A and B are shown apart, each in its own frame.
Chain A
Amino acid sequence: MVKRPVPNEFIIERDEKKCIACQACVRACSYDVHTYDPETDTVESDDSKCVGCHFCEALCPTKALRTVRNPSAYKENANWTAEVINDIVKQAEQGGVILTGMGCDKGQRNYFDHMVLNASQVTNPSIDALREPMELRTYIGTKPDCIEIDYNENGPVLKTKIPPQLELQTPILFSAMSYGSISLNASIALARASAEIGTFWNTGEGGLHKALYKYGKNTIAQVASGRFGVHAEYLKSAAAIEIKIGQGAKPGIGGHLPGEKVSAEISETRMIPEGTDALSPAPHHDIYSIEDLRQLIYALKEATEYEKPVGVKIAAVHNVAPIASGIVRAGADFVAIDGLRGGTGASPKIIRDNVGIPIELATAVVDQRLREEGIRHKASLIVGGGFRNGADVTKAIILGADAVYIATAALVAMGCTLCQKCYQGKCNWGIATQDPYLTKRLNPDIGARRLVNMLRGWSFEIKEMMGGMGINAIESLRGNRENLRGIGLMEGELKMLGIKPAGEAW
């Protein structure tokens, strides 16, 4: 048969009247879309190579470029969409699974968009978030069953030893993205922003590059199935440890960093030979049961002298509530849950789009389950997976989360346009790449500043909404589901979320 190419996803429209042939686009594109012809002093574009990342558009000084969707269409078919057909064409050519990047984009119901917040009117004054104190401070870690106090003549004195906590100035953390999957500059930006805001970033399974040890106070060190880069100093330098069992983008499967990306510095950081593939197994081969998990949790607590919270990250799956309960009972100080829409790195498309449950439901059922079991205070709940703004964060906290993990939004703040080509390692924005020609495009100063701005913005959003609800401390919002109502949700969904339908009063 005739070789059948997959149609271009995008077309580059170049306004020749505006193009000054400065070649900024030519230098910009790592996919070699643009080429300069010195004979005619013009620039041409090969649309078939374009991934739609908009980097050239960002640089074009005359705004002569536009990336538009290719209107070339198949006969409309609700089941056999262009994406489905094109995936089959690719597989018919190459076999294998189709890789993609970032989180699930299939548009399963986003419950955040079906929940609305409350605000005070008359009976309860709203509080002006710009003038009155609004407290977002959050502590992550096991809370004691009881605070014991010595009452002596000098006043009450705390007797209970408080387990180690992470102090967050805003209930938002950066979730795990390894050095390797993202560039060192991206990691530096995350770490610096965390330090400035007073929150935490997460190493992912990439170890801790030596340039990042100074941000240890704001670092959560991940221990995952490949155990890359895990050693005593790594654990001790961090503020908390997270055992990664699963992640939202690919529940149930492991990770794979291709050897080409394992540069000298990554090799040193991960403690694997340069140029070899870094394979993270699907399960931890020393954790086949909850008892095994308990052993690892305590091994890590021993290794860090019980000075740091140790948490466990899982993907949101059907059985998430009992699993979370088991994790809490196994001794975790926090449980991190990553929902269906989570994900920033490379993953097989079929897994990403079809495995796992939305984080909103997982948050609600886990929080409820832990409260019913009377163990909610024994671990903090950090949830992640597609949080887009202060409202999503606020809603998740109302559903019961202590804090949220964000990654996609962080990448977007640093330039990412969700072109989903992370797995190619040619990220024009300097994020998901190790090519030194590309990584320098992410100026960590700018990256950190933009992350800080975004977190400040979100924090203000949360504060304004809190003030509107007449609440001035985040702990009064956390799990306070009276402040949330569902719109267009079925009874079963409302029940899972533990909220009333919009229109129903207290």
Chain B
Amino acid sequence: MVMKKRKIVINEDVCMGCRLCEVHCLVKHSKSKKIIKAFKGEYPRALPMILVEEKGHLSFALQCRHCEDAPCLSSCITGALYRDPNSGAILYDEKKCVGCWMCIMVCPFGVIKRGSEKKIVSKCDLCLDENVPVCVKNCPNEALICVEEKL
């Protein structure tokens, strides 16, 4: 396995706020992975792990930055959050999480969200099983760009 550090670069100057990144992220993290079913046939509907901020004509998508000095990692009391040695991504083990929300408290981007059942749901996983994260792949204007560097 090639060890690559993946990073999603956000170009807010060309984000049009269409929120297709959210749509496709939701689908990717749904049970069926089928877009129409994910929206119309799965309850509760899956949640996107990316969020779009808007203010006037400014908009940008934001997802976990997988920080070098990740505050969520140092705040996690269960070890549910961990850095994947292969990709450098900060991943999350749902089985370990107890929902203490320390990570939400320290994440400067506000990109970790609570789910039902006292578990984190919204935590970007960089779609490591995909060649390109789905938010990047489906961004119609390249406002999200995936860069990879060898670890």
Contact = CB atoms under 8 A, between A and B. Distances in A.
A61 B142 contact: no
A18 B40 CA distance: 9
Interface string A437-451: 100111101100000
Contact of A443 (B35, B56, B142): B142
A425 to B, nearest CB: 15
Contacts of B138: 61
A13 B53 CA distance: 30
Interface size class of A (residues with CB under 8 A): 20 to 34
A23 B140 CA distance: 15
Contacts of A437: 16, 56-57
B19 A22 contact: yes
Contacts of B40: 20
A434 to B, nearest CB: 12
B36 A24 contact: no
A59 B140 contact: yes
A24 B14 contact: no
Q: How large is the interface on B (under 10, 10 to 19, 20 to 34, 35 or more residues)?
A: 20 to 34
Contacts of A430: 16
A136 B142 CA distance: 32
Interface in B15-49: 15-20, 23-24, 35-36, 39-40
Contact of A20 (B18, B39, B56, B57): B39
Contact of A62 (B11, B13, B36, B57): B36
Nearest to B24: A61
B143 interface: yes
B23 A22 contact: yes
Contacts of A442: 14
Contacts of A440: 13-16, 57, 141
Interface in A443-471: 443, 445-446
Nearest to B17: A27
Given A440-B14, A443-B141, A21 B39 contact: yes
The 9 closest A-B pairs by CB, nearest first: A20-B39, A437-B57, A443-B14, A436-B57, A441-B16, A22-B23, A443-B141, A24-B18, A440-B14
12 contacts: A20-B36, A20-B39, A22-B23, A28-B18, A58-B140, A61-B35, A440-B14, A440-B15, A441-B14, A442-B14, A443-B142, A445-B14
Interface of A: 17-18, 20-24, 27-28, 58-59, 61-62, 430, 435-437, 440-443, 445-446
